[in-house]
Amino acid sequence: MKKWRKLAAWARARWDKVVVLAERGARVWAAHWVLIVGSFLVFCSVLLKWVEFPLSRNLSGLQLPLLRNVGLTAHIYFLSVGALGIVVLITGLVSLRRSRPLLALVAAILLTLCVVVPCQIAFQQPALLRRLTEEDQEIELIKVFTRNYLPRNLGPVENIPKQLVLYTAWGRFLAACSFLRLGWYCFGFGSLLIAAYSISRLPGERMPTVLALICLPVGALVILVTPPVIGQHYFTGASIAKAQGDNERAIADYRKAMRWDQWHAQNIDTYATIGELQEQAGSAYGSPERHIRRAIEFKQASEYELAIFEFNRAADGGGALAVAAKRESVQTRADLGLALYRAGSIGGAVTNWEQTLAEDPSQVYVLPYLARGNYDIGRYQAALDVIARLVQVVANHTSMLADAYSLGGDCYAKLGRIADARYYYSRSMSADPIVNTWALTKLAGD
């Protein structure tokens, strides 16, 4: 009997402690729930998707660097938006009891990081925005290729941004925002909650703190947006001068726009327009811009080899123009491969696609073409090697991943490895089970 009494007393004591802790926790939650929810959102956001690539892959907060361009492979960077946000937030939480105004500064820094991300994509890293938009445009071409040359897969179509307006600064900002995903929104909302909490806890007059809180992100936005806005001013003036027939002023304004805005400095259309104006004025014969203008004309006429030649001549000039010309030359080679494939010259198409990837590994959208081309000419193991790379690239896109596995199953079937073929067809069905007739008919033995 005494043992039961002791056990009951022990249980009562423990229950009383649980009640005390629960009451204390309830008081803490009631007093600081805004800070707790905001901090939770910021912490969780770094592991979520921040930037969605239309084709290749996605970036989390820990994989989105602040001061460098994004490479082909997603890496975790110490100086990334997510890592820096976590360090700043922990610093503010640790010092909360000692200095309440410091939390307001922390909230301002977090909001600044949130504002910087779309500006960084739109204005500071034109190569990243160009890659996002180019992959977006290539999705439709890959779908057409699949519909025309591969067995039908009627699975769901991914949600890809459309109608991107890139010739204005505002359009590029909206384009950058269209590729941002849940992680960025959670980070921004969590930062706003922390800012609201920090303001509510400040004693006395709060307006100076509110103004200081707003000035940091707004100041960062102004600093990042000012050069593109100036560049847009000169670009608009150049377009007006071109329409008025004032070629010299138009060329001068286009060059000023390129100096202020890196997007225009890496835009092949700007150089082609300058080349057109030089040709109309009968000046600068043999300039890189005129080579680019001729290359664009050849490309529009489907004279791809001549276009590649002219782009390479323009690339000899060096600088940002050379980077733009070389990138366009590589893309033209990929288009040449697709034209050769449609004409039945599959071996030549494969050669050009392989050269495209060798010159610029970021042109990952040629991988579906290259895999199919190798299959068509009987290079089944080479096709499987390309597919192994392709499934890593399109891991987040169900129908393309399913097509890659189905093609891999066809390759294994041709090699007589039936078990591997069935495994790949099964993975295709797992990736896209909705009306995936390609994998379904192969599994059924058709």
Among candidate residues 206, 233, 260, the one where a domain is terminated: 233
Identify whether 252 is part of a domain: no
Report which of residues 200 and 377 the model is more confident about: 377
Q: Which of 207, 233, 259 is the last residue of a domain?
A: 233
What does the pLDDT look like over 353-386, one tens digit per residue? Answer: 999 999 988 888 899 999 999 999 999 999 999 9
Whole-number Å distance between alpha carbons of 332 and 238: 28
pTM of the model: 0.81
Question: Minimal CA–CA distance to 130: which of 5, 230, 262, 34?
Answer: 262
Range of the structural domain that residue 381 is part of: 363-446
Q: Is residue 268 part of a domain?
A: no
Give the domain CATH number at 390.
1.25.40.10
pLDDT at 419 over 70: yes
Q: Using CA atoms, how far apart are residues 188 and 42, in angstroms rounded to an integer?
A: 8
Q: Does residue 429 register a pLDDT over 90?
A: no
Across 2-11, 97-106, 343-352, 359-368, the highest mean pLDDT is recorded for 343-352
pLDDT at 312 over 70: yes
CA–CA gap between residue 262 and residue 256 (Å, rounded)? 11
Separation between Cα atoms, residue 214 and residue 365, nearest integer Å: 42
Domains contained in the chain, number: 2
Residue 367 included in any domain: yes
pLDDT on residue 72 = 60
34 in any annotated domain: yes
Q: Within a domain: residue 113?
A: yes
Q: Which two tokens stand for residue 78?
A: 């110490």
| Chain length of the chain | 446
Is residue 98 included in any domain, yes or no?
Answer: yes
pLDDT of residue 158: 47
Q: Is residue 445 part of a domain?
A: yes
Q: Which phi and psi (to 5°) does residue 51 adopt? A: -125, 130
Tell me the mean pLDDT in the region 325-341.
92
pLDDT, tens only, 211-259: 777 888 888 889 999 999 999 999 999 999 998 888 889 999 999 999 9
